[in-house]
Structure 1
């Protein structure tokens, strides 16, 4: 099993109507997210975001601008890295070209989500964070992947009350159920 490099990138891709490209993750941790991945698999952050976008949704990055980031104690499927469990995230807003061609290995249900859908998915994650949904229920019909919520709040796509953000921080740091790291 690989060791985590504690660095990740993510991509925000918008269509002409301002909708965000998201998909249900086919790998753990569960959730609705945008393209993302570890930096060490691809060289530097820019190489990583370009490669992840192409691998996960089949689009070519034409330009990318860093919009937000920060440390999140989210567990991945790898062994903990030199900084322990977590990742230094860099989130890019990217312009893309090509036809959407999602990976069936990493994604399912790729779609363009408007703010109403994103907020609804956020409420589903709140239910999960509060313990009102079991892990398997969330995995079967996910809300926003918890580590993506701070990004969506930071760029103004969803609204979350301060007390709910505290729940998400706890949820981000929650270990994956045993057997789901492979």
Structure 2
């Protein structure tokens, strides 16, 4: 699978505002095959317990040089902090996921069929492998390495269609607010 490229279009302390922007972006996309992927770095036993109840098939592994992972039969609470990842989840799990992560850095990435045509910039519909929206909570980057008190919304596109991102931002009355970066997955 090829990586997408992404740019931030909103940074806010209001998670509800961030989710509204995500919803507005999704409203203009072809949502065929819509699913959501989650990533988070968890240190809290309570958050870990809630997340594993919500996402029972999530993969996890110990952060740093410690051993422990979901495929080895270890107890995840004995391995904290852990990185937890879940793919192809239902969109309805986003809000419970965000509640469970608490103040931990996390991403929710909506994956769908295509972006709309952008005739003003000479682009047809933008297909898979580049049609994503990511909400980073308590982080300013897609890799969750830059902790923050606020939340950032990123729009993704194929690198060869990077001009689609500012165009999409204007469709929801925003503009890009940072550099184009390669997404981690």
So what's the TM-score if we normalise by structure 2?
Answer: 0.24
Q: Which has the larger radius of gyration?
A: 2
- Greater relative contact order structure (CA < 8 Å, 6+ sep): 2
So what's the TM-score if we normalise by structure 1?
Answer: 0.24
